[in-house]
Structure formats: structure tokens, C-alpha cells
């Protein structure tokens, strides 16, 4: 079976399944989910614990041995299998399938691994584990949902933040949930319980936001000019290469120019999305961007990008960061005076 992370607490009130697979690339949520599972295992009598770390040269026979070894005192055992890559290989796949086929309630297997792609989720070992137990996939908190996530976490520590306080903290820690959790703990220590306003957050919280170049491109496509400026400033502070940032932006502009040209020729939008491999999750971004700019404007942005490329490479005078800001704002539909 599959569980969302928000379903985990209710699920753990029942008898545990013999296998849990927790996957994702957001460390804080991954660690918290496995912590909750460990606590539930202890509460339900899994008093022994064995940890197996999958790395180069790992002997998969150790998993079978851990599953078959009986405790001297007949106690139930928690077996933790840490598999960061999420790629067990042929030997690992066979070992996991064999374990799932012979799983018993005397042992609880808790597997933690990185994010699994669609191909990995179709593998024999994944489907075997899913059939015998539960899979919990950890998804990043989207920027739009981050203020709510922070508000809930602050309330859990006895603080009642204003909407402005939660929004400000979200802006300061965006892209870095570990920093968000740390800042929540710090605010709880500083202010105890009760109300929390933006000025208190501003005076106590450092700017720990972390971004990547693809996030800037998506923000520009979404039409959020203010966030474009914030993300770009974060990338600059982290020392990202302007050439790489421009590449991420131009990749989207070029695809949108091609889609807009196809639309002008009468090709259905869904057909164009398939041709250009636009994922379902990103279709709303493309649809919003296509409403904002026509083919002529997308082509004008491509011409502007050629000049910006020369500036970024020092072949033409100009400030790359100022030009990148203007370019991303134009993508977002902000008029540059």
C-alpha cells in the first residue's frame, strides 16, 4: 500500500505492517518520518534494532540473515536498511523480493532511500515491498504551501504567528526545510508561547533560503516578479554562475517560442506539450506563460538572450546580474520602465 506522510500518524495507531519503505530527497521530512516509525516500532514491542548500511560491496546476504536470526529472548526486531541511492542492483533486487515473500510480523523492515523515479517504482523489488508493506513517499513542500507548513509547526510549539510572520519566515528559509525547523525551535526558545508578529521574526531569523536555477525559471513562468528578484538574489549570494542561470531561463523561452509557433500553425496545445515533453505538473506554468506573451514576444526574448549571453561571458559590456533580473522579470510579464 501507499501512504501520504500526513496519513502516517493515523496509520501507526494500528498494528504495524512488516515492511515500510520511506523515500524522498528532503532530509528533514525523511528523517522525521523514519523517527516516527522507529517510535511506533518500540511502542509495539520491537525492542531489538539492527542497522544495515547499503554501500559499495554491501553483502545482501546480511538482510536475509537479519530476517532469519532469532532473538535469544524471542523479542521482536526492527531491521533498518539504509539505501541512499535507491538502486539495490540485481543482487539487492533479488534479496528484497525474497525478504518480502517471506516477511513475518516478528521482524519489521524499515527501508529509507532517496527519491525514486517512475522506472524504479515499476521494478520488481519495489512492487514486492509495496505489496507486503507500505510505501511513504516524501515530497518537497511547495513554496505556496510553505507559510502554512511553518504556521502549523509554530503552533505545535505554542506560538500563534500572524499571516505576515509566517510569510516572512517562509521567504527567509525557502528551499531549506532544515533551516525552517531550526528557526522554529529558536523562535520557541526566544518567545516561549503566544503571539508572534513579523517584527519578532525579522529580528530573530537569518536569511537561510536556498534556491536553484530551475526554480528561478519556474517562478518566471508563473509570473511572480517579486519572487524572481528574491530567488535571483539568493542564487547570486550562493555564487551561482550567471551563464548557467541564463541557460535555465533560455531553455524555457526557446520551448515556449516553439510551442507558440505551433499554436499559431494550428497544432493543438496538448499535442505540442507531448512533442516538447512538458510534464503534467508544469503544464499550468506553460499555459500561464503562453497567455502572457505571444510568439513575437517570445522571439524578442530569445534575441535579448543572445546579447545577455555575451554580457555573461564578458564579450559585451554590462552587468550580468542586472540583465538577468530584467530578463526574468520580462518573462514574468513585469513591465520594465
How far is CA 79 from each of CA 19, 28, 110, 328, 333, rounded to the nearest angstrom? 9, 21, 6, 49, 53
Low-confidence ranges of the chain (pLDDT < 50): none
In the chain, CATH 1.10.8.60 covers: 143-204
Phi, psi dihedral angles at 159 (to 5 degrees): -100, 145
Question: pTM higher than 0.75, yes or no?
Answer: no
pLDDT, residue 297, reads 95
Q: pLDDT tens digits for 111-154?
A: 999 888 888 999 999 999 999 999 999 988 888 889 999 999 99
Phi, psi dihedral angles at 105 (to 5 degrees): -70, -10
* Protein fold of 143-204: Helicase, Ruva Protein; domain 3 (1.10.8)
Superfamily of domain 2-137: P-loop containing nucleotide triphosphate hydrolases (3.40.50.300)
**Was domain 213-332 assigned CATH 1.20.272.10?**
yes
Distance CA 274, CA 286 (A): 13
In the chain, CATH 1.20.272.10 covers: 213-332
pLDDT, residue 337, reads 59
Distance CA 337, CA 326 (A): 10
In the chain, CATH 3.40.50.300 covers: 2-137
- As a whole number, the mean pLDDT across the chain is 90
Distance CA 6, CA 167 (A): 22
Query: Both ends of the chain: CA-CA distance in Å?
Result: 55
Distance CA 133, CA 130 (A): 5
Q: What is the 3-state secondary structure (H, E, C) of the chain?
A: CEECHHHHHHHCCCCCCCEEEEECCCHHHHHHHHHHHHHHHHHCCCCEEEEEECCCCCCCHHHHHHHHCCCCCCCCEEEEEEECCCCCHHHHHHHHHHHHHCCCCCEEEEEEECCCCHHHHCCHHHHHHHHHCEEEECCCCCHHHHHHHHHHHHHHCCEEECHHHHHHHHHHHCCCHHHHHHHHHHHHHHHCCEEECHHHHHHHCCCCCCCCHHHHHHHHHHCCHHHHHHHHHHHHHCCCCHHHHHHHHHHHHHHHHHHHHHHHCCCCHHHHHHHCCCCHHHHHHHHHHHHHCCHHHHHHHHHHHHHHHHHHCCCCCCCHHHHHHHHHHHHHCCCCC
Sign of dihedral through CA atoms 65, 68, 71, 75? Answer: positive
Distance CA 77, CA 68 (A): 11
Distance CA 237, CA 229 (A): 12
pLDDT, residue 71, reads 55
Amino acid at each position: 500500500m501507499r501512504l501520504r506522510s500526513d496519513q502516517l500518524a493515523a496509520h501507526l495507531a494500528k498494528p504495524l505492517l512488516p515492511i515500510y519503505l520511506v523515500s524522498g530527497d528532503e532530509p528533514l521530512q525523511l528523517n522525521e518520518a523514519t523517527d516516527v516509525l522507529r517510535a511506533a516500532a518500540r511502542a509495539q514491542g520491537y525492542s531489538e534494532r539492527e542497522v544495515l548500511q547499503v554501500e559499495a560491496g554491501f553483502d545482501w546476504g546480511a538482510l536475509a540473515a537479519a530476517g532469519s536470526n532469532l532473538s535469544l529472548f524471542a523479542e521482536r526486531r526492527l531491521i533498518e536498511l539504509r539505501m541512499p541511492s535507491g538502486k539495490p542492483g540485481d543482487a539487492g533486487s533479488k534479496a528484497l523480493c525474497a525478504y518480502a515473500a517471506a516477511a513475518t510480523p516478528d521482524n519489521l523492515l524499515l527501508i529509507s532511500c532517496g527519491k525514486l523515479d517512475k522506472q524504479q517504482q515499476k521494478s520488481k523489488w519495489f512492487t514486492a515491498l509495496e505489496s507486503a508493506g507500505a510505501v511513504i513517499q516524501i515530497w518537497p513542500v511547495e513554496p505556496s504551501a510553505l507559510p502554512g507548513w511553518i504556521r502549523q509547526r509554530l503552533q505545535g510549539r505554542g506560538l500563534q504567528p500572524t499571516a505576515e510572520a509566517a510569510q516572512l519566515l517562509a521567504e527567509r528559509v525557502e528551499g531549506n526545510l532544515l533551516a525552517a525547523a531550526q528557526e522554529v525551535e529558536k523562535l520557541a526558545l526566544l518567545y516561549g508561547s503566544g503571539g508572534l508578529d513579523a517584527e519578532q521574526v525579522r529580528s530573530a531569523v537569518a536569511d537561510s533560503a536556498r534556491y536553484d536555477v530551475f526554480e528561478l525559471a519556474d517562478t518566471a513562468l508563473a509570473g511572480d516578479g517579486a519572487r524572481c528578484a528574491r530567488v535571483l538574489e539568493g542564487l547570486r549570494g550562493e555564487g551561482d554562475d550567471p551563464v548557467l542561470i541564463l541557460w535555465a531561463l533560455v531553455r524555457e523561452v526557446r520551448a515556449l517560442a516553439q510551442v507558440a509557433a505551433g499554436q499559431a500553425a494550428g497544432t493543438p496545445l496538448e499535442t505540442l506539450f507531448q512533442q516538447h515533453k512538458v510534464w503534467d505538473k508544469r503544464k499550468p506554468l506553460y499555459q500561464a506563460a503562453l497567455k502572457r506573451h505571444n510568439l513575437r514576444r517570445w522571439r524578442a526574448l530569445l534575441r535579448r538572450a543572445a546579447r545577455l549571453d555575451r554580457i555573461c561571458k564578458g564579450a559585451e559590456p554590462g552587468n550580468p546580474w542586472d540583465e538577468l533580473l530584467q530578463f526574468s522579470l520580462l518573462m514574468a510579464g513585469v513591465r520594465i520602465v
